[in-house]
Structure 1
Amino acid sequence: MRFFYEVLKVRAVVRGGALALALAMGLLVTGCASDKDDVLPPDEPAEKIYNEGLTLLRRQEPEKAAKRFEDVDKTHPYSEWARKSLLMTTYAYFEAGKYDEAIATGKRYIALYPGSQDAAYAHYLVASALYENIPDITRDQRKTRQALDALEDVARKYPNTEYAATAKKKIEVARDQLAGKEMLIGRYYLEQRNYTGAINRFKVVVTQYQTTRQVEEALYRLTEAYMALGVVSEAQTAAAVLGYNFPDSSWYKDAYKLVQAGGVEPQENKASWISQAFKKMGLG
């Protein structure tokens, strides 16, 4: 029976798995869901309300389902059904695209039931809701950082679960988003001929986001900025590190042409911060 429960929990990671999780948490009682969310009979059984929420999920009405699960907490607080319903409220709000509500209810579940065997799922739902709230790259990225922190928390606390595996994929997207923001600002500084400001932004990408797809362009832009400043040794190093790690990159071809136009060849200075940064990552 324990194995069956765990299987159902794993299925709940993907969309559509909430009913499986719900069945693992309690038996489904047949019955029609009521659309009159505002009227609660005084002695309505918690199990009945809970399963009406499940029925609404099956009918693909997640926001109504969330309201019904909330009714359990209102009428039967501190009960086992209230605990189950709080988690299902989080899932239902997530499915409805109400991410702020999902985050709030998920955090409440974690605060109230930190030792629950479903706490991992609650953490995953909160992190996923934060992930879905990631803004456009042109906007402030504080929410992206919050999502990244939450996803990394899931991967660290529950390393051998499906939640961690899915979280790691989302982590890479969030990191690429943050690196892309640095590149956006760095390119703007380049256009303004603020080369020092540009270098500082590209340095963040090279030192903090080396595993993202942004790093190739960052190394090229460093070559460009350093050549513009006349710091030829650093430009050569950026081009050389780019060529060593990404020999087939179109960015390397452009970097090679750029330093060659300045009368030099790509050449790595082992003492350069660029070289040292890649050595720390085992990429150079």
Structure 2
Amino acid sequence: MRQGKLLLASLLAVTLTGCSSLKPKEPDYPEQVMYEKATQSLDDALWDQATDWYEKLEARYPFGRYSEQAQLELMYAYYRSGKTAQVQASADRFIRVYPNSEYVDYAYYLRGLTAFEEDQSLIDRFLPTDETERDPGAAKDSYNDFATLVRLYPNSPYASDARNRMVYLRNRLARYEIHVAQYYLKRGAYLAAANRGNYVVENFQETPAVPDGLAIMIVAYKALNEPTLAQSTQEVLDLNYPGYDKDVLKQESVFDRYTMGVFQSSDTKLPVPTLVKSNTEAPAQPAVQQPAEPEEQQPAADDDGNNRSLFHKLTGGLFE
């Protein structure tokens, strides 16, 4: 009985060995050949194929002559294929392994750019959602990466674009704090609302959210029976933002959001800048990145003189 089991085990091992031998063995390419295949895939915009070649090159020749450049191009291939986590990991590794590289600024920039686009979804492109109401974790990460880039490499070819994006991100983070403060106001947490408004005033100077922060502080101080603080804050608001008149307690309802504001009364809002992405693609290897300039949106006027037509509001501008 025991001999039969041994014979069966031997036959099974021989069978498995024979099956594995039928699988074609991948050629052992030289380092230069693998790098050329990877870069050719990158040039042909075959992102997944390029990442596959770069990963094999990195695994087989981790300290080869093409290692540094291959890691940069792998980072870019990950970015173009939408692999956020891989971009972050490869950027972290490059910064750790090559801290003195002349291209380390590119790693900081691409890591920040990936975080910047992380929470941009397909819905945001077609529906008028307010991204400042969402969790700002990715925005904070992006801002920190761009700030590090600008601080350590102020003359980097990517510094200009990083500064432009930092302006947008500061505005967005400030608006998020205003949303939180409004939430506290509506629920009677006046001290927390005042603290949030003060945080915006102190930490987000020169953003469109500052007057809203002051207005929230005034409402909260009045509710807390602090007329002296409310009056002094009102004086600051009047001095720096004369003519400011906005109900900071007013928030968009679910009905308003799903009807895209068609049935809302006209309400002037402070402009919040939006960043228009440049058509220039990020480079396959470090090169000058054209900054994305903020573009002022001009609403189209209809025949009745309104800012937007009813059709525009109902369709969210999809067909205009």
Q: Distance in 2 between matches of 1:238 and 1:161?
A: 41
**Which residue of the partner structure matches residue 195 of structure 2?**
200
Helix, strand or coil: the match of 1:97?
Answer: coil
Q: Distance in 2 between matches of 1:207 and 1:77?
A: 48
**Which residue of the partner structure matches residue 269 of structure 1?**
none
**Which residue of the partner structure matches residue 55 of structure 1?**
40
TM-score (normalised: structure 1): 0.68
Give the deviation of 1:90 after TM superposition.
0.6
**Which residue of the partner structure matches residue 150 of structure 2?**
155
Native 8 Å contact 1:130 1:146 kept in 2: yes
Native 8 Å contact 1:206 1:218 kept in 2: yes
- Within-5 A mapping of 1:1-284: 40-42=26-28, 44-134=29-119, 136-247=131-242, 249-251=244-246
Give the deviation of 1:74 after TM superposition.
1.8
Q: Distance in 1 between matches of 2:26 and 2:216?
A: 63
Relative to structure 1, is the Cα distance of residues 165 and 82 closer, same or farther in structure 2, using a 3 angstrom cutoff?
Answer: same
Higher RCO structure (Cα 8 Å, ≥6 apart): 2
Q: Distance in 2 between matches of 1:199 and 1:88?
A: 48
Give the deviation of 1:232 after TM superposition.
2.0
Helix, strand or coil: the match of 1:132?
Answer: helix
Native 8 Å contact 1:124 1:154 kept in 2: yes
Q: Distance in 1 between matches of 2:107 and 2:88?
A: 9
TM-score (normalised: structure 2): 0.61
Letter in 2 for 1:80: R
Q: Distance in 2 between matches of 1:76 and 1:96?
A: 23
Letter in 2 for 1:149: N
Q: Distance in 1 between matches of 2:190 and 2:62?
A: 60
Q: Distance in 2 between matches of 1:164 and 1:125?
A: 12
Native 8 Å contact 1:100 1:129 kept in 2: no
Relative to structure 1, is the Cα distance of residues 39 and 59 closer, same or farther in structure 2, using a 3 angstrom cutoff?
Answer: farther
Relative to structure 1, is the Cα distance of residues 62 and 231 closer, same or farther in structure 2, using a 3 angstrom cutoff?
Answer: same
Give the deviation of 1:144 after TM superposition.
2.8
Cα deviations by residue, 1:187-241 (Å, 9 ceiling, x for unpaired): 0111112211111111111111122221121111112222223322222222222
Q: Distance in 2 between matches of 1:129 and 1:41?
A: 35
Give the deviation of 1:89 after TM superposition.
0.6
Unaligned runs of 5+ in 1: 1-37, 256-284
Give the deviation of 1:86 after TM superposition.
0.7
Helix, strand or coil: the match of 2:188?
Answer: coil
Native 8 Å contact 1:70 1:85 kept in 2: no
Q: Distance in 2 between matches of 1:39 and 1:208?
A: 60
Q: Distance in 2 between matches of 1:142 and 1:209?
A: 17
Unaligned runs of 5+ in 2: 1-23, 121-130, 249-320
Give the deviation of 1:51 after TM superposition.
2.8
Give the deviation of 1:250 after TM superposition.
4.1
Relative to structure 1, is the Cα distance of residues 40 and 128 closer, same or farther in structure 2, using a 3 angstrom cutoff?
Answer: farther
Cα deviations by residue, 1:153-202 (Å, 9 ceiling, x for unpaired): 00100111221111112222222232222211110111112211111111
Q: Distance in 2 between matches of 1:39 and 1:126?
A: 36
Q: Distance in 2 between matches of 1:51 and 1:244?
A: 64
Helix, strand or coil: the match of 1:247?
Answer: coil
Cα deviations by residue, 1:78-134 (Å, 9 ceiling, x for unpaired): 012122111111111112221211110111111111111111111211222222235
